[in-house]
Structure 1
Amino acid sequence: MLDPAPLAQSLHQLRTAYQAQTYPDLATRRDRLQRLERALKRHAQPLIDALNRDFGQRARHESLLADLLPLLSEIRFVQRRLKGWMRPQKRQVHWMHQPATARVIYQPLGVVGVMVPWNYPVQLAISPLISILAAGNRAFLKLSEWTPATNQALITCLREAFSADEVAIALGEAEISAAFAALPFDHLMFTGSSAVGKKIQRAAAEQLVPVTLELGGKSPALLDQDIPLPRALDPLLFGKTFNAGQTCIAPDYLLCPETRLEEVLTYLKARFTALYPHLLDNPHYTALINSAQQQRLNQLAATSGAERILELNPAQEDFSHSQKLPLTLLVNPAADSRVMTEEIFGPLLPILTYTHWEEALDQIRQRPRPLTLYYFGRDQQHQRQLEYQVHSGSLAINATLVQVAQPDLPFGGIGASGMGCYHGREGFMTFSHPRAVFQRRGWDVTRLLDAQYRRRWLPWLESWFLR
């Protein structure tokens, strides 16, 4: 799609269909979710194959664990709870305004736009769609130009499940993305980099479109003194190597006690070698999305100013003609280097040493608020301090990545890492409007404001409340 005009036509089609059914009932919403579930199951293998083609090599277990299985779990979770979420909530009426009732109805917003990134192109298209459909909306998805094979497989899947006036899909490069962000949606959701997120918010602001921004940033991993290294570094490696680190919630850098640095480096090298004795033809080690990303990451490492650079390349393979990149450890890079000021989004792991606990916390607090924070330790006081005194979109303790796979936990950033959240009930709420409904029953209390009554009771009321 090169001409932006069809975008407006698709939006008009979606809005017209929504206006004909502004509050879909429970059966309709469940039917849409069930259609989505059936289509995902039928098209699971074509989607996995397409992901593999787009990445050059995408580990099958990663596509299953990240792009497909959590979606099926989320659909089932939402289906079981949707009736309760849709139920109007009774609210209190102040005694001065009785007799009356008050309630909140969760009304669909209308047509929601979703801008999908390339790193998890199935999950980050469908997971928002689940919340959007559960809340009773129509959806318009803009898919990433970097994943053409996955886009076609996803279009086939969604076209089988939905008509074009339920879920519309747009393709195209930067100019189409810009036109898409400028459309007068009822809500717009963007997942991607902070730099692009700022442009999306500016474009949406021209139409006064509310936005949910799922950005990234530099999510720190904090290693404490008291935890055995396998308990901490095994999940750290999982989070940093999964999808070759191309994950918005991947551990971006590790804060390590200075006294543990050498044993940490030794363990990471030994464990990585055991997991991936070779990389080039290893189907379990995912490639980078394209050569541009590889060049960017190589430049980040080369300009890091690190004290030591340790490339974990067990078989000493040549990656000059491959889109894969070995996990590379950067010990104490320069604070003002690009690798410490930009989101890495790949298999580079800066390791910063600290001598005191408060020093580590200061390093986290001095940077923009991250999408997630990882703590590896057993100190309850330190854990409580991280829970209540340090900001991040989420906190994971002795684990990485799996917090996003919990359908009953909200997912979203804070500050520089985003705004708003979705998944589960929070997703239903994000794409609904909590509409206040007040209903008078019996005598109208506002008649007391008539002059003949006001002179009698207003002085008493004023003295009562201002006593």
Structure 2
Amino acid sequence: MNQALRNPVPDGIEDVFRRAVALSRAGTPDLAERRDRLARLRAIVVENETQFDEVISADFGNRSSTETLIAETLFVLAEIKHATKNLSRWMAPKHVATELQYFPATNKLLPQPLGVVGIISPWNYPLQLTLAPAIAAIAAGNRVMIKPSELVPRFSALLQKLIASKFDDTEIMVTGIDGDIPAQFAALPFDHLIFTGSTRVGRLVAEAAGRNLTPVTLELGGKSPAIIDRSADIAEAAERIVYGKLMNAGQTCIAPDYVLIARGSMDEFVAKAQSAAERMFGVSPDNKDYTSIVSDKHYARLEGLVQDAAARGAKIMRSAPSDDPAWKSKRKFPPTFISGATADMTVMQEEIFGPVLPVFACNTTDDAIAYINANDRPLALYWFGKDNAARDKVLARTISGGVTINDCLFHFVQANQPMGGVGASGIGAYHGEWGFRTLSKMKPVFYRSPLNRLADLYPPYGSKIARLIKLLRFMS
């Protein structure tokens, strides 16, 4: 490794940004350079897998090692492998059809790097949601600056150190998390800015980026519904929804946020969901497979949501109260099911981001569609059942970031599908080639042939232009 790549990251974020911009304008990294950067990033993940697991768990209080492996480490490695394998094809100029009246000219799209990409990453999946957009940015030939979350300080410090050990700071730089760094970062005139986090903060990021005319990709959240059709196997749906909800203790942007089900099936669903939760994670806070809530503030917010629902008449089902010292001392929030949730409850008005699942009565498919469409468009939607006509009605009449049918979460991990929200749940998309295109300028180029007659368009206008306009009218 060249010694220049081992220089520590300097304190001056603006200085790094200026140098990265200058280098991005001076030349475009070729296929070999991009693959080398992806290989170095892969080496960081592979060589430090245990360290990442340990610091993420320490930041949370307890993070399931299996969930970190599946949802973070293996996901990132698969993204790197997919990008490395397909990069030469993604980078190749794309031939575009030329309309007949311009023959024999040629059209092509040339993918080019945007320049310097900023990434503001969240705390809930810190490795995955920091490095996945970085992989897309590197594949597209960009230089990358990353601002990690202050809620995972151990992870952020480790990533900063490891990136500095294998990359020059103008290739990839990870900032600190103290002081005014977040504000400094958001104010930089990046060529593209990617933010993953809450809708509230996303609005602020978009506003800051707008001052610089910086395009943004916002991966936000919202209230992702799970619809249980009358044709569904309720036990199967309960098990799959519980898995999707309780992974990472519900601290997942695409977790099912609430359930829509016929009133007559509500009690059966809640009973089977509680049974599935206890089967998967037991009834003890000592279970290492069950992840802690990231902070006392988040824990208290969840308690408030449940208390508000109970005060408004909902039935609360769980194996232990959230103020049980054995659970609270470990910041583990017991899986909680709210039966008979209503629209006026706070839990039905804000993204939950925790292991609390409201169950809301909707007796028909039309009722479920109307409820979903009366609110912000969700990041994800889940449908369970065997009635294809009901399924297709929901797909046709609702708009969401993504959908999984008869399961939860799995649309997110499809390498050839885009991941992104719509409206309040996000702007833009990435993953695989979608990320490459988002972070590239797909530059259209028209190659004129010496044999075509475009010169007939030039003045002085006369009979030539009249004949050409007649032809163009015919072809339009």
Q: How far did residue 129 of structure 1 move?
A: 0.7
1:313 aligns with 2:320: yes
Q: Aligned residue for 1:345?
A: 353
- TM-score between the two structures when normalised by the length of structure 2: 0.93
Residue 232 (structure 2) aligns with: 227
1:75-123 CA distances to partner (integer Å, 9 max, x unpaired)?
1111111111111011233344344322110010000000000101110
Aligned partner of 1:290 among 285, 290, 295: 295
Partner of 1:193: 198
1:58 counterpart SS class: coil
**Identity over aligned pairs, percent:** 36
Q: 1:262 aligns with which of 258, 267, 277?
A: 267
Q: Does 1:176 pair with 2:184?
A: no
| 1: CA distance, partners of 2:179 / 2:251 | 21
Return the match for 1:422 from 425, 430, 446.
430
Q: Structure 2 matches for 1:132-147, cutoff 5 A?
A: 132-147=137-152
- Of stretches 134-143 and 324-333 in structure 1, the one that deviates more from structure 2 is 324-333
Q: Which blocks of at least 5 consecutive residues in structure 1 are unaligned?
A: none
Distance 2:11 2:322 in 1: 52
Distance 2:323 2:135 in 1: 44
Cα distance, 1:440 vs. partner? 2.3
Choose from 371, 386, 393 the match for 1:378.
386
CA distance in 2, matches of 1:34, 1:201: 32
8 Å Cα contact 1:52-1:59 kept in structure 2: yes
Aligned equivalents of 1:443, 1:315: Cα separation in 2? 78
Q: TM-score, normalised by structure 1?
A: 0.94
Structure 1 pair 273–94 and aligned structure 2 pair: CA distance change class (3 A) = closer
Stretch moving more, 387-396 or 4-13: 4-13
1:302 aligned onto 2:307: yes
Which segment drifts farther, 67-76 or 84-93? 84-93
**Residue of 351, 359, 363 corresponding to 1:355:** 363
Moved more, 135-144 or 315-324: 315-324
Deviation, structure 1 residue 65: 0.9
1:107, 1:433 within 8 Å by CA — same for their partners in 2?
yes
Residues 1:323 and 1:222: Cα distance change in structure 2 (over 3 Å): same
Q: CA 1:247–1:365 in 2, change beyond 3 Å: closer, same or farther? A: same
Question: Do residues 85 (structure 1) and 90 (structure 2) align?
Answer: yes
| Distance in structure 2 (CA, Å) of the matches to 1:403 and 1:279 | 31
Q: Which amino acid aligns with 1:372?
A: A
Secondary structure of 1:421's counterpart equals: coil
Shift of residue 169 of structure 1? 1.1
Cα 1:263–1:17 shift into 2, 3 Å: same
- Residue matched to 1:411: 419
Which one-letter code corresponds to 1:61 in the other structure? T
* Residues 451 and 422 of structure 1: CA distance in aligned 2, closer, same or farther (over 3 Å): closer
User: Partners of 1:275 and 1:141 in 2: how far apart?
Assistant: 36
The change in CA–CA distance for 1:160 and 1:207 in structure 2 (over 3 A counts) is: same
Asked whether the 8 Å contact 2:267–2:339 carries over to 1, the reply is no
Say which SS state the counterpart of residue 420 (structure 2) adopts: coil
Equivalenced residues, count: 462
2:105/2:452 contact within 8 Å kept: no
CA distance in 2, matches of 1:118, 1:316: 24
2:12 counterpart SS class: helix
Q: Secondary structure at the match of 2:341?
A: coil
Distance of 1:13 and 1:203 partners within structure 2: 22
Q: Which amino acid aligns with 1:406?
A: Q
Code of the residue aligned with 1:28 in structure 2: it is E
Contact 1:245 1:345 in 2 (8 A): yes
Residue 18 of structure 2 corresponds to: 12
Q: Write the letter of the residue equivalent to 1:422.
A: Y
Shift of 1:174: 7.4
Q: 1:389 to 1:96 in 2, by over 3 A?
A: same
1:396 paired residue among 387, 404, 407: 404
Q: Compute the displacement of 1:315 (Å).
A: 12
The whole-number CA distance in structure 2 between the counterparts of 1:219 and 1:64 is 25
